[in-house]
Amino acid sequence: AQFRELEAFAKFGSDLDKSTLQQLNRGKIMVEILKQNQYVPMSVENQVAIIFAGVNGYLDDLEIEQISAYEKDLMEYLSANNQKTLDAITSSGKLDENSENDLKTALDNFGKTFKK
């Protein structure tokens, strides 16, 4: 709701500060990552991973058009390289400190390989 209000306000203002522009961009990214194709549900652990990436700025440098490819490639990367972390999120039902640290490391490593 805050993003939509800020987005509506931004339409009337011409000069927005860097912080506001960043918040608007992150809001657009979050809207994009929350989209799911019909009849193709995403697993909870994958949802946690991509939302974590979005909230923590791992996607801030991407264009909106790149989000879908990033998401797809990230899911493949995590499945191949960090299945234990995904399994821990699934079994515990939460993102504990160990899983969070593992996820940060995985996102950092994936970010180095993702072709922008």
What is the number of alpha carbons within 13 Å of residue 65 lying toward its C-beta? Answer: 1
Residue 14: its pLDDT value, please?
62
The model's pLDDT over 5-56, given as tens digits with 9 standing for 90+, comes to 766 666 666 677 788 788 888 889 999 999 988 998 999 999 999 999 999 9
Task: Record the pTM.
Answer: 0.84
CATH of 2-113, one of 1.20.150.20, 3.40.50.620, 1.10.10.410, 3.40.50.10540: 1.20.150.20
Residue 115: its pLDDT value, please?
81
The model's pLDDT over 70-111, given as tens digits with 9 standing for 90+, comes to 999 999 999 999 999 999 999 999 999 999 999 999 999 999
